[in-house]
Structure 1
């Protein structure tokens, strides 16, 4: 029985005769022998010629003697080999037709004749019109040597079968009951998928290959590169040869807004399942700063930084600041767990504990120092408090918080106030610096509109920060001044 309906065959034959005088139809199984006359009757201005297997030369003469008409040459035998076929030259400028569904599909897919075996092999996939439409949409001429790429691209809807995008989509479908892995297996392209992926990353396809193990190998290969291959020997079997492609994939995966959640899940799973906390916890903090793919690395580094605080003394002060700055400057998002406030708190705390109030004998020297430098003490303390309030779990930082509170209040602030009280003399304050003269100095003689904003307890250091922010606007010109009032103030 025919594999296509008669109407489809007629429509296809008529389309062939639009541009061809002859159409050859070899029907070696003679499936259409009984209905060929009926089919020919529905062809527009076309004659039917029934060729015989042992009369090819006669067939050629008959056809050439009637050059005025179009002919459907129906041959109920197998197409002869080229060296035995007297009609080869005519076939060259004619059209071959077959009622085999595979041939029709091949043309619908706009594939060349050399892909006929490919279409036959994957007839279960090409059986649905929607799948054929997807295949045509995502097919690329670059797939010619491995046409299975077209099926994989169509299943995953991946333009040009970009390997990074492909793998991110497959990973996002999960390790268990993965939809894509199931469909690849169903349509017999799973082996091709693994060969493509492992070839891209430089690994062998073996019995152990699975999605979870592949992800572990990718992360470990990237980690080994960050640490200059300083991982235990048990991880050697995880390494993939194409480390550049591993880096490209991880960078795209980690920085993708679309797949960020899946990257985080993969990263945490690899960290936990391979017990990387135990592997890396003895490494120096400076070495750990090179690691950018595991959020958990922050907790190891922070623990090491906290250990550098010994009361009011900081061990390796310069290195501590360098480590913190490196972690804060990572371009990749390493703070999904909310560890940015911790780094900032420790930095401000270390800076504060490293400060001292200069000893002076004159209140004017103290004032000038405050206006130029010492106001930053108040800024650092304020920012340390702000960072601390943003820390979710403060258990590891509460002792440091108590230390800087005492140091700021009992040492820095008390020393400054004591010096001021011992040396300050209101009588020595110039008139232009007295707050009580504010109106006379800044408002009375100004002819333009003046706006005066009163803000209770607006500290000088806050005003300095506001000045810096406003100065960053090229449309504004800022000039800040100060005034002195009597105590309390």
Structure 2
């Protein structure tokens, strides 16, 4: 430590003063190396007197007249005057002089060989401040030579905790490429030349007038060219460095570091502007850019390329054997994924919507429901996810034309087509031969069960959302879930749907249009709860918002002794009535809330059986209904009217509508008619939403989910999916190598996805190659589909048989190394053919 310098001086001076006779010592510190330290000297038997060029005579009087007994250290922070000009020349004759060489003291402290004294003396100004000296000492360099001393000095100036030149560069670059304070510090202490010297040695960066911008351009373009697997334009050759392996490892560590990621991105943006990246990269074929992730604007180029293919309906386009969807999925996991993931999801879902532009539905109602259950529902999911992700894109102007295309396909080629076919064919008598009806829900799914069952009724939780909920449960090791369709009531609105889910012998819609079950009202939760308890006294119901606020004990108290519990959850419908454009956000939140309450009830009250269902579904389109899409007013004042249905004493026969008897739906003797639009059109009525509607006879409104969920109270053993190296890897003879891997098993209920960091390193754990991040998440049961290839480039350096090298695979989430293999690197001409140029 720096304090040791002072301790050495103290010990030496105290030895000099440890005499019987009076001792006076003069210390001329011409370089003022100890001017800050002198006040901290602890002299046991002497006084310290500060000499200045102006107090020479005063000092002589002090020593020879005023105090002739005390020992004195006379500290003079200036050059010793010649005898003619020195009033103390005769005093010095009978006194002693002390000489302190800071460089020698430092070398003695740190055990630096005398051969490197000139190096220390060259930068002695650095050691004038205690804080700088302390930082140098704290680096604890293992072996001192010219290189390690200079790198330690650079490291101390940038306040690095380790003496590592690449870390110095990262810290320097993070401070900015112009008017950099660290470069000013290097210049102040004569270390700027050393900084550029080690840039040449480490990265092969050579420039007659080096600066941080040109260094950054060189680093990033070298990285980019190696990801492109082709050459950059000849005018940029001067920027491409001869040590790509070292450069890629350096950039990878900066990109993947939480400390330096933001700085890297700022540098990347600056470099891209300076080199006019758009002009450079727009001329390359997309296959050369597909792996480049060092500039975020490459994502913009790829996104525009995919957009062009979608507009041209060139859905079979491939890049390096990757489909358009595969291209988007691969880019989602590149460095700038947080900026572009939603954009790629927009493209992926638009792709699948365009793929279904020639949609043709089945021509009978049974097959329609079956195919909706199997695949048609996906189109609604693609549309929902298209807008869910689009709404998260800050600047979505590039997708305006795509929105028009998606709206046209979804509404005109799918929604209206399937709605017309489904509405025209809708027949409850035919459907009940294969599918269960919502009005029989209690009898089919609740009654007769032994043990407790919890029913979660989520308002407007349509079928395709139920499908996604089941998929999400697959990642929960405590849960088993499956789904089946149930045919909801018509009209598909809340009052009737909620009543249909209660135990009943008959359901009726009164003259005032209120809904009754076995003669009892159902308009609020208390009334519905009375019906539940009339069937089974050990029943109860509760609102989700009330339940979620309960403590564990309060939950236990509420559920104690109860066999059937209805939980009423209202996220989607409630949000739709307050902010229609947030409906798809609400769908996502609803799924998470349902998963969360099931988890809490499993943990808190040991509940294990759940049914998730809905009162009705919904139709949502982002474009608002035009007047031409509204069916003109034809109904009478006494009719019950809604944007998607009318209940009337009169069986209107209006073009574009379907009429059905209430009795056909509810199995009673009600001869009133239910009139619904056969497409996604709405009736001209007062109020109501423009985008979110329900009540009609489309499959999106009528087919509701029955999600059966079973949980376990103890943890089911799960593990992360593993990956293995397929390629033989023992001796490496080339700086470039391509390795094959396999994901050992498909992701499933008990095998979870995992993210791995794959790299080569030396025995000290230092990176000697680029670092690949791979997300193992394939669900394919075919092993050939789970094989993948990664490319590595080793640093350009000398590899010796004395040092050990390893190939490692590490779990990013846990930091646990799951695979390590020692490798032999036998490359004859690494490190610029052995010459330091």
Matching residue of 1:115: 116
Which has more strand, going by share of residues? 2
Q: Shift in Å at residue 98 of structure 1?
A: 6.9
Matching residue of 1:428: 430
Which deviates more from structure 2 when the two are superposed, residues 266-275 or residues 99-108? 99-108
Matching residue of 1:458: 461
Matching residue of 2:238: 237
Q: Would the aligned equivalents of 2:439 and 2:489 in 1 still touch at CA under 8 Å?
A: no
Q: Would the aligned equivalents of 2:365 and 2:426 in 1 still touch at CA under 8 Å?
A: yes
CA–CA distance in structure 2, aligned partners of residues 256 and 116 of structure 1: 37
Q: Say which SS state the counterpart of residue 482 (structure 2) adopts.
A: coil
Matching residue of 2:143: 142
- Which string of whole-angstrom CA distances, capped at 9 and with x for unpartnered residues, describes residues 301-332 of structure 1? 22222222337x345456322321221132x2
Matching residue of 2:491: 488
- Which string of whole-angstrom CA distances, capped at 9 and with x for unpartnered residues, describes residues 440-463 of structure 1? 112221232333333332211101
Matching residue of 1:174: 176
CA–CA distance in structure 1, aligned partners of residues 123 and 385 of structure 2: 65
Q: Shift in Å at residue 293 of structure 1?
A: 0.4
Are residues 118 and 488 of structure 1, via their aligned partners in 2, closer, same or farther at CA, if it must alter by over 3 Å?
Answer: same
- Which string of whole-angstrom CA distances, capped at 9 and with x for unpartnered residues, describes residues 46-97 of structure 1? xxxxxxxxxxxxxxxxxxxxxxxxxxxxxxxxxxxxxxxxxxxxxxxxxxx9
Matching residue of 2:12: 12
Q: Shift in Å at residue 486 of structure 1?
A: 4.3
Q: Would the aligned equivalents of 2:383 and 2:410 in 1 still touch at CA under 8 Å?
A: yes
Q: Say which SS state the counterpart of residue 441 (structure 1) adopts.
A: helix
Matches within 5 A, 1:32-431: 99-146=100-147, 147-204=149-206, 206-310=207-311, 313-317=313-317, 319-330=323-334, 332-336=335-339, 339-355=340-356, 356-430=358-432
Q: Say which SS state the counterpart of residue 397 (structure 1) adopts.
A: helix
CA–CA distance in structure 1, aligned partners of residues 103 and 414 of structure 2: 87
Q: Say which SS state the counterpart of residue 453 (structure 1) adopts.
A: strand
CA–CA distance in structure 1, aligned partners of residues 479 and 277 of structure 2: 52
Q: Shift in Å at residue 393 of structure 1?
A: 2.5
Which deviates more from structure 2 when the two are superposed, residues 292-301 or residues 418-427? 418-427
Which deviates more from structure 2 when the two are superposed, residues 124-133 or residues 293-302? 124-133
CA–CA distance in structure 1, aligned partners of residues 384 and 124 of structure 2: 71
Q: Say which SS state the counterpart of residue 454 (structure 1) adopts.
A: strand
Are residue 447 (structure 1) and residue 481 (structure 2) matched? no
**Superposition TM-score, scaled by structure 1 size:** 0.75
Q: Would the aligned equivalents of 1:295 and 1:335 in 2 still touch at CA under 8 Å?
A: no
Are residues 388 and 378 of structure 1, via their aligned partners in 2, closer, same or farther at CA, if it must alter by over 3 Å?
Answer: same
Q: Would the aligned equivalents of 1:218 and 1:246 in 2 still touch at CA under 8 Å?
A: yes
Q: Shift in Å at residue 422 of structure 1?
A: 3.9
Q: Shift in Å at residue 199 of structure 1?
A: 0.5
Q: Would the aligned equivalents of 1:153 and 1:160 in 2 still touch at CA under 8 Å?
A: yes
Are residues 349 and 10 of structure 1, via their aligned partners in 2, closer, same or farther at CA, if it must alter by over 3 Å?
Answer: closer
Which has more helix, going by share of residues? 1
Q: Say which SS state the counterpart of residue 480 (structure 1) adopts.
A: strand
Q: Say which SS state the counterpart of residue 208 (structure 2) adopts.
A: coil
Q: Say which SS state the counterpart of residue 371 (structure 1) adopts.
A: helix
Q: Shift in Å at residue 395 of structure 1?
A: 2.5
Q: Say which SS state the counterpart of residue 396 (structure 1) adopts.
A: helix
Matching residue of 1:20: none
* Count of residue pairs brought into register by the alignment: 402
Q: Shift in Å at residue 108 of structure 1?
A: 3.4
Q: Say which SS state the counterpart of residue 452 (structure 1) adopts.
A: strand
Which deviates more from structure 2 when the two are superposed, residues 428-437 or residues 467-476? 428-437
- In structure 1, stretches of 5+ residues that fail to align are 17-41, 44-96
Are residues 451 and 242 of structure 1, via their aligned partners in 2, closer, same or farther at CA, if it must alter by over 3 Å?
Answer: same
Q: Would the aligned equivalents of 2:152 and 2:164 in 1 still touch at CA under 8 Å?
A: no
Which of 464, 468, 473 aligns to 1:470? It is 473
**Superposition TM-score, scaled by structure 2 size:** 0.45
Q: Say which SS state the counterpart of residue 283 (structure 2) adopts.
A: coil
- Which string of whole-angstrom CA distances, capped at 9 and with x for unpartnered residues, describes residues 159-207 of structure 1? 4422221101111222333222122222222211211121100133x42
CA–CA distance in structure 1, aligned partners of residues 249 and 153 of structure 2: 25
Are residues 196 and 437 of structure 1, via their aligned partners in 2, closer, same or farther at CA, if it must alter by over 3 Å?
Answer: same
Are residues 370 and 238 of structure 1, via their aligned partners in 2, closer, same or farther at CA, if it must alter by over 3 Å?
Answer: same
- Which string of whole-angstrom CA distances, capped at 9 and with x for unpartnered residues, describes residues 330-366 of structure 1? 2x23443xx3322211211111111244443432122
Are residues 154 and 281 of structure 1, via their aligned partners in 2, closer, same or farther at CA, if it must alter by over 3 Å?
Answer: same
CA–CA distance in structure 2, aligned partners of residues 98 and 170 of structure 1: 38
Q: Would the aligned equivalents of 2:377 and 2:463 in 1 still touch at CA under 8 Å?
A: yes
Are residues 164 and 15 of structure 1, via their aligned partners in 2, closer, same or farther at CA, if it must alter by over 3 Å?
Answer: farther
CA–CA distance in structure 1, aligned partners of residues 103 and 445 of structure 2: 92
Q: Would the aligned equivalents of 1:152 and 1:193 in 2 still touch at CA under 8 Å?
A: yes
Are residues 174 and 471 of structure 1, via their aligned partners in 2, closer, same or farther at CA, if it must alter by over 3 Å?
Answer: closer
- Which string of whole-angstrom CA distances, capped at 9 and with x for unpartnered residues, describes residues 214-247 of structure 1? 1111111111111224211001111111111100
CA–CA distance in structure 1, aligned partners of residues 7 and 197 of structure 2: 42
CA–CA distance in structure 1, aligned partners of residues 10 and 138 of structure 2: 27
CA–CA distance in structure 2, aligned partners of residues 241 and 112 of structure 1: 34
Q: CA RMSD in A?
A: 2.8
Are residues 232 and 386 of structure 1, via their aligned partners in 2, closer, same or farther at CA, if it must alter by over 3 Å?
Answer: same
Matching residue of 1:85: none
CA–CA distance in structure 2, aligned partners of residues 402 and 7 of structure 1: 79
Which deviates more from structure 2 when the two are superposed, residues 289-298 or residues 173-182? 173-182
Q: Would the aligned equivalents of 1:378 and 1:461 in 2 still touch at CA under 8 Å?
A: yes
Q: Would the aligned equivalents of 1:443 and 1:450 in 2 still touch at CA under 8 Å?
A: yes
Q: Say which SS state the counterpart of residue 458 (structure 1) adopts.
A: coil
Q: Shift in Å at residue 10 of structure 1?
A: 7.0
Q: Would the aligned equivalents of 1:139 and 1:153 in 2 still touch at CA under 8 Å?
A: no
